[in-house]
Amino acid sequence: MITAFSDEYFMRKALNEAKIAFENGEVPVGCVIVSNNTIVARAHNLTEKLSDVTAHAEMQAITAASGFLGGKYLNDCTMFVTLEPCAMCAGALGWSQIGKIVYGATDPKRGFSLFAPHALHPKTELVKGILADEAIRLIKIFFESKR
């Protein structure tokens, strides 16, 4: 049973976004940004559709949340993302001063913890491994279909 407004609850919403990306031929990464138990932004990768290497789910969500909330700082928000952010996204999250990041699968090839472990704002809380198996499974299926 999923408790309402738990990390698992919101990660399931991020996984739904990843599935949309998958269905559209994008690397299946999805995220949501939450403020006061309300989703203020939903996003998934759009790099193929937009022909833009910066159109990661996290970047799209930061822009949407900032627009919705009317400010550039997201210090009272939590991002739920299915895959560990890359260095670029971690840098943007650091600049946004996001309060908390919850991610599913670790990215051993491109994750920020490998390349930019200090990119996040010092006050940002980090939670890892929520529904990681589901996120990894979706990514593996995606890349196996490309081979």
Which candidate in 23, 58, 125, 134 is catalytic? 58
What is the amino acid identity at position 101? I
* Burial call 111-145: b when 16+ CB within 10 Å, e when fewer: bbbeebeebbbeebeeeeebbbebbbebbeebeee
Q: Which residues contact 24 (CB under 8 A, 6 or more apart)?
A: 44, 48, 49
Q: Would you call 128 helix, strand, or coil by DSSP?
A: strand
Gap between the terminal Cα atoms of the chain = 36
> Token pair of 147, please?
């081979």
Is 23 annotated in the active site? no
- The set of catalytic residues is 58
